[in-house]
């Protein structure tokens, strides 16, 4: 039975030009790679959103946290987000409360541990 299958496989490969066979294999692996990438990305993003919602962080607070982790000052964050400096200070105070942090670096470290933000070197 196995010998027949191998013989049949060899006959098919001989009938199909090698370029076409290579193309079919490439399409198969490309499709598999896209499927795995989408599956991995969906899993990663759903975990991040769940953690942020679980902690009560708004999308804007996560955005401020990401900018904090990139080293921007309060004024630079306010300019980037088109809000006042006082608004940013309020967001940062709420972030500290929700993450139970006392300093900027502590809040950033906790956010990275919870996968709320990505590392700046990634």
Question: Averaged over 34-58, what is the pLDDT?
Answer: 72
Report if residue 51 sits inside a domain.
Answer: no
Q: Which residues contact 116 (CB under 8 A, 6 or more apart)?
A: 48, 51, 52, 55, 57, 62, 65
Q: What is the pLDDT of residue 97?
A: 93
Instruction: Give the pair of three-digit tokens for residue 81.
Output: 């987000």
Chain centroid offset of residue 67 CA:
16
Q: Once rounded to an integer, what is the mean pLDDT over residues 109-115?
A: 86
What is the pLDDT, as a whole number, of residue 122?
42
Arithmetic mean of pLDDT, 101-117? 89
Domain carrying residue 69: 56-122
Shared-domain flag, residues 60 and 117? yes
Confidence of residue 40 (pLDDT cuts 50, 70, 90): confident
Residues 61 and 96 in one domain: yes
Q: Are 66 and 122 in contact (CB under 8 A)?
A: no
65 plus 117 within the same structural domain? yes
Q: Check residues 51 and 109 and name the one with the higher pLDDT.
A: 109
Q: The whole model's pTM is what?
A: 0.56
Based on the fold, state whether residues 74 and 116 are members of the same structural domain: yes
Is 50 within the bounds of a domain? no
pLDDT digit string (tens) for 80-93? 999 999 999 999 99
Distance between CA atoms of residues 32 and 83, nearest Å: 44
Q: Which residue has the tokens 């962080």?
A: 57
Phi–psi pair at 62, nearest 5 degrees: -65, -40
111 shares a domain with 82: yes
């Amino acid at each position: 039975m196995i010998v027949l299958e191998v013989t049949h496989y060899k006959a098919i490969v001989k009938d199909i030009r090698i370029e076409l066979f290579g193309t079919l294999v490439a399409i198969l692996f490309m499709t598999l790679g896209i499927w795995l990438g989408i599956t991995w990305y969906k899993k990663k993003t759903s975990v991040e959103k769940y953690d942020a919602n679980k902690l009560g962080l708004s999308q804007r607070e996560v955005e401020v946290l990401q900018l904090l982790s990139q080293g921007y000052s309060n004024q630079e964050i306010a300019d980037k987000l088109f809000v006042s400096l006082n608004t940013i200070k309020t967001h940062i105070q709420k972030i500290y409360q929700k993450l139970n942090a006392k300093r900027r670096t502590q809040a950033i470290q906790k956010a990275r541990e919870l996968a709320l933000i990505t590392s700046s070197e990634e």
